[in-house]
Structure 1
Amino acid sequence: MGVVADEIETRLRAALQPTDLSIIDDSDSHRGHAGHSGAGESHFTVVLTAAAFAGQSRVARQRLVYAALGDLIAPDRVHALVIKASAPAA
Protein backbone atom coordinates (compact mmCIF):
# COMPACT_ATOMS: atom_id res chain seq x y z
CA MET A 1 0.00 0.00 0.00
CA GLY A 2 1.04 3.55 -0.62
CA VAL A 3 1.13 6.59 1.65
CA VAL A 4 -2.47 7.64 0.97
CA ALA A 5 -3.82 4.10 1.45
CA ASP A 6 -1.90 3.86 4.74
CA GLU A 7 -3.44 7.14 5.89
CA ILE A 8 -6.93 5.92 4.92
CA GLU A 9 -6.37 2.79 7.00
CA THR A 10 -5.03 4.72 10.00
CA ARG A 11 -7.94 7.16 10.02
CA LEU A 12 -10.66 4.54 9.54
CA ARG A 13 -9.22 2.28 12.24
CA ALA A 14 -8.95 5.17 14.70
CA ALA A 15 -12.44 6.56 14.07
CA LEU A 16 -14.53 3.45 13.45
CA GLN A 17 -12.59 0.48 14.90
CA PRO A 18 -13.62 -1.82 12.02
CA THR A 19 -13.56 -5.57 12.55
CA ASP A 20 -12.80 -6.00 8.83
CA LEU A 21 -11.15 -3.47 6.53
CA SER A 22 -9.94 -3.73 2.94
CA ILE A 23 -8.52 -0.84 0.96
CA ILE A 24 -8.20 -1.30 -2.78
CA ASP A 25 -6.30 1.19 -4.92
CA ASP A 26 -8.33 1.44 -8.13
CA SER A 27 -6.22 4.25 -9.59
CA ASP A 28 -4.74 2.26 -12.48
CA SER A 29 -8.26 1.42 -13.67
CA HIS A 30 -8.91 5.14 -14.11
CA ARG A 31 -5.82 6.05 -16.12
CA GLY A 32 -6.78 8.80 -18.57
CA HIS A 33 -10.00 9.66 -16.71
CA ALA A 34 -10.77 12.89 -14.87
CA GLY A 35 -9.05 13.10 -11.52
CA HIS A 36 -6.25 10.70 -12.42
CA SER A 37 -3.03 12.65 -12.14
CA GLY A 38 -0.75 9.81 -13.13
CA ALA A 39 0.76 9.82 -9.65
CA GLY A 40 -1.56 7.05 -8.47
CA GLU A 41 -3.48 6.77 -5.22
CA SER A 42 -6.41 8.86 -6.43
CA HIS A 43 -9.24 6.30 -6.68
CA PHE A 44 -10.05 3.80 -3.91
CA THR A 45 -12.59 1.25 -2.78
CA VAL A 46 -12.94 0.66 0.96
CA VAL A 47 -14.80 -2.34 2.30
CA LEU A 48 -15.35 -2.29 6.02
CA THR A 49 -17.44 -3.76 8.79
CA ALA A 50 -17.87 -1.81 12.02
CA ALA A 51 -20.25 -1.81 14.98
CA ALA A 52 -20.58 1.97 14.48
CA PHE A 53 -22.68 1.21 11.39
CA ALA A 54 -25.35 -0.77 13.26
CA GLY A 55 -28.77 0.77 12.70
CA GLN A 56 -27.35 3.37 10.29
CA SER A 57 -28.62 3.98 6.77
CA ARG A 58 -26.28 3.61 3.80
CA VAL A 59 -25.97 7.40 3.59
CA ALA A 60 -25.24 7.71 7.33
CA ARG A 61 -22.52 5.05 7.01
CA GLN A 62 -20.93 6.92 4.12
CA ARG A 63 -21.02 10.15 6.13
CA LEU A 64 -19.18 8.43 8.98
CA VAL A 65 -16.47 7.26 6.58
CA TYR A 66 -16.13 10.72 4.97
CA ALA A 67 -15.94 12.34 8.42
CA ALA A 68 -13.16 9.93 9.42
CA LEU A 69 -11.19 10.67 6.26
CA GLY A 70 -11.62 14.45 6.46
CA ASP A 71 -9.18 16.37 4.29
CA LEU A 72 -8.04 13.26 2.40
CA ILE A 73 -11.19 13.62 0.32
CA ALA A 74 -10.08 16.45 -1.93
CA PRO A 75 -9.41 16.68 -5.67
CA ASP A 76 -5.66 16.75 -5.12
CA ARG A 77 -5.69 13.74 -2.74
CA VAL A 78 -8.48 11.16 -3.10
CA HIS A 79 -10.53 11.95 -6.16
CA ALA A 80 -12.98 9.03 -5.96
CA LEU A 81 -14.02 6.67 -3.20
CA VAL A 82 -16.31 3.64 -3.35
CA ILE A 83 -17.60 2.76 0.12
CA LYS A 84 -18.96 -0.67 1.00
CA ALA A 85 -19.81 -0.31 4.69
CA SER A 86 -21.71 -2.80 6.80
CA ALA A 87 -22.47 -3.61 10.42
CA PRO A 88 -21.41 -6.96 11.89
CA ALA A 89 -23.95 -9.74 11.46
CA ALA A 90 -26.07 -10.24 14.54
Structure 2
Amino acid sequence: MQPSDVKSLLESRIEGCEFRIQGEGCNFQVTAIGEVFGGMSPVKRQQLIYGALGDEIASGALHAITIKTYTPEQWGKAPENTGL
Protein backbone atom coordinates (compact mmCIF):
# COMPACT_ATOMS: atom_id res chain seq x y z
CA MET A 1 0.00 0.00 0.00
CA GLN A 2 0.96 3.57 -0.57
CA PRO A 3 0.23 6.54 1.72
CA SER A 4 -2.30 7.76 -0.85
CA ASP A 5 -4.15 4.43 -0.60
CA VAL A 6 -4.43 4.71 3.18
CA LYS A 7 -5.55 8.34 2.88
CA SER A 8 -8.24 7.43 0.35
CA LEU A 9 -9.55 4.63 2.56
CA LEU A 10 -9.77 6.89 5.60
CA GLU A 11 -11.36 9.76 3.68
CA SER A 12 -14.04 7.43 2.34
CA ARG A 13 -14.80 6.00 5.78
CA ILE A 14 -14.51 8.97 8.16
CA GLU A 15 -16.18 12.21 7.18
CA GLY A 16 -14.97 15.66 8.10
CA CYS A 17 -11.34 14.80 8.79
CA GLU A 18 -8.09 15.78 7.19
CA PHE A 19 -5.51 13.00 7.02
CA ARG A 20 -1.75 13.17 6.66
CA ILE A 21 -0.15 9.81 5.99
CA GLN A 22 3.51 8.84 6.00
CA GLY A 23 5.14 5.47 5.57
CA GLU A 24 5.41 2.65 3.09
CA GLY A 25 4.65 -1.01 2.61
CA CYS A 26 2.47 -2.00 5.55
CA ASN A 27 3.80 0.47 8.15
CA PHE A 28 2.22 3.92 8.34
CA GLN A 29 1.94 6.99 10.52
CA VAL A 30 -1.55 8.53 10.45
CA THR A 31 -2.23 12.09 11.58
CA ALA A 32 -5.94 12.86 11.65
CA ILE A 33 -7.43 16.32 12.22
CA GLY A 34 -11.16 16.79 12.65
CA GLU A 35 -13.99 18.11 14.79
CA VAL A 36 -15.16 14.51 15.16
CA PHE A 37 -12.48 14.04 17.84
CA GLY A 38 -13.91 16.74 20.11
CA GLY A 39 -15.09 15.21 23.38
CA MET A 40 -13.59 11.80 22.58
CA SER A 41 -11.10 10.09 24.86
CA PRO A 42 -7.73 9.21 23.34
CA VAL A 43 -8.76 5.54 23.28
CA LYS A 44 -12.00 6.30 21.40
CA ARG A 45 -10.05 8.38 18.87
CA GLN A 46 -7.68 5.47 18.22
CA GLN A 47 -10.59 3.04 17.95
CA LEU A 48 -12.26 5.22 15.31
CA ILE A 49 -9.17 5.10 13.09
CA TYR A 50 -8.46 1.41 13.69
CA GLY A 51 -12.10 0.59 13.01
CA ALA A 52 -11.97 2.38 9.67
CA LEU A 53 -8.95 0.29 8.66
CA GLY A 54 -10.09 -2.99 10.23
CA ASP A 55 -10.36 -4.99 7.01
CA GLU A 56 -6.90 -3.92 5.85
CA ILE A 57 -5.37 -4.71 9.24
CA ALA A 58 -7.09 -8.12 9.34
CA SER A 59 -5.85 -8.97 5.85
CA GLY A 60 -2.26 -7.94 6.65
CA ALA A 61 -2.24 -5.17 4.06
CA LEU A 62 -1.60 -2.84 6.99
CA HIS A 63 0.57 -4.13 9.78
CA ALA A 64 1.86 -1.32 11.96
CA ILE A 65 0.01 1.97 12.32
CA THR A 66 0.96 4.90 14.51
CA ILE A 67 -1.95 7.27 15.07
CA LYS A 68 -2.09 10.88 16.23
CA THR A 69 -5.46 12.61 16.39
CA TYR A 70 -6.30 16.27 16.87
CA THR A 71 -9.25 18.59 16.82
CA PRO A 72 -8.55 21.60 14.55
CA GLU A 73 -7.89 23.70 17.67
CA GLN A 74 -5.42 21.15 19.04
CA TRP A 75 -3.73 20.89 15.65
CA GLY A 76 -3.23 24.65 15.59
CA LYS A 77 -1.14 24.31 18.76
CA ALA A 78 0.59 21.03 17.92
CA PRO A 79 4.39 21.10 17.54
CA GLU A 80 4.08 18.78 14.51
CA ASN A 81 1.96 21.33 12.67
CA THR A 82 4.33 22.84 10.14
CA GLY A 83 1.59 24.83 8.49
CA LEU A 84 1.17 22.46 5.54
- Fold in common (TM above 0.5): yes
Name 1:49's counterpart in structure 2. Answer: 33
CA distance in 2, matches of 1:15, 1:51: 15
The higher radius of gyration belongs to 1
Label 1:86 to 1:60 Cα distance change in 2 as closer, same or farther (>3 A): same
Of 16, 21, 24, the match for 2:22 = 24
The TM-score with structure 2 as length reference comes to 0.73
Change in Cα spacing, 1:15 to 1:75, as seen in structure 2 (3 Å) is: closer
Check the 8 A contact 1:21/1:49 in 2, yes or no: yes
Tell me which residue corresponds to 1:5: 3
8 Å CA contact retained: 1:44, 1:80 = yes
Separation in structure 2 between the aligned mates of residue 81 and residue 23 of structure 1, nearest angstrom: 10
Tell me the amino acid that sits aligned with residue 6 of structure 1: S
For 2:50, the equivalent position in structure 1 comes to 66
Identity %: 32
Unaligned runs of 5+ in 1: 28-40
Q: Structure 1 stretches (4+) deviating beyond 6 angstroms?
A: none
Q: Secondary structure at the match of 2:58?
A: coil
Instruction: Judging by fraction of residues, say which structure has more helix.
Output: 2
Query: Aligned AA for 2:7?
Result: E
CA RMSD across the alignment: 1.9
Paired residue total: 73
Secondary structure in 1 aligned to 2:73?
Answer: coil
Relative to its length, the structure with more strand (as a share) is 2
Unaligned runs of 5+ in 2: 75-84
Q: TM-score, normalised by structure 1?
A: 0.69
